[in-house]
Amino acid sequence: NGSEFRKAKALNKTIEITINNEVMTIEELALQGKHNIYNSMAAGLGSTLMNIRKETIRTKLASFDALEHRLESVLNISGVEYINDSKATNVNATYYALECQSQPVVWIVGGVDKGNDYNELMSLIQNKVKAIVALGADNSKIIESFQGAVEVVDTDSMEKAVRKASRLAEKGDVVLLSPCCASFDLFENYEDRGRQFKNAIRNL
């Protein structure tokens, strides 16, 4: 029954998920981040209630592919991980993207601002972000919001943004495109923005 799928106690800051007495740690989940952990647990519980085999649940939770442009791992180049989160067009989505990063982040952000309050991100910026690459036709609000907290550089094309981010990043860092803004200043839509990001990475 549903009680067979549950979150066990935290042990050394590692949350364990128990499926019929078999333990699966959060590190084994294909989708990382607090919000994705909750989603995975809900999916596992629902699957258990539908009497789907526990081995199938475990396999799917460990191998589920992320949607394109949503925390999509693109490439690892010289120890730097490049992540495409172009679908993050608001503060809330970007908050979750930054929150789930465990390595220092070079953050590519910008576009058509939706009245964002960037103060909501400040604690994450101070704890997780080593540099910001502002990408947009007008980056003045982003520069004003974060200058002084971390290094902020101004760019007006995806190619320039990715090249600058690659220079700022070191082995073990993450380059995260999570724009927090709409895409229509420089791109057709968020899909176009994400694809240009991936192409620029491959052209490094």
CATH of the domain at 153: 3.90.190.20
Structural domains in the chain (count) = 2
Residue 5 pLDDT: 41
Residue 55 pLDDT: 73
Same domain, 189 and 109: yes
Same domain, 46 and 102: no
Residue 22 pLDDT: 63
Determine how β-strand 5-11 pairs with β-strand 14-19.
antiparallel
Please report which helix (H) or strand (E) contains residue 59, including its range: helix 54-63
Mean pLDDT, the chain, integer: 84
Same domain, 127 and 98: yes
Residue 36 pLDDT: 65
Instruction: Band the pLDDT of 14: cuts 50, 70, 90.
Output: very low
CA distance 40 to 38: 5
- 10, two tokens: 């935290």
Instruction: Band the pLDDT of 106: cuts 50, 70, 90.
Output: very high
CA distance 89 to 94: 7
Same domain, 152 and 57: no
Question: Is 165 a residue whose pLDDT tops 70?
Answer: yes
Which amino acid does the sequence have at 48? T
Domain ranges, residue 113: 72-202
Q: Domain boundary at 34, 63, 92, which?
A: 63
Same domain, 82 and 58: no
Same domain, 80 and 15: no
Question: Is 37 a residue whose pLDDT tops 90?
Answer: no
Instruction: Band the pLDDT of 11: cuts 50, 70, 90.
Output: very low
Same domain, 34 and 88: no
Phi, then psi, of 94 in degrees rounded to 5: -70, -35
The residue ranges of DSSP E strands in the chain, in sequence order, are 5-11, 14-19, 22-25, 72-77, 80-84, 105-109, 129-135, 151-155, 174-177
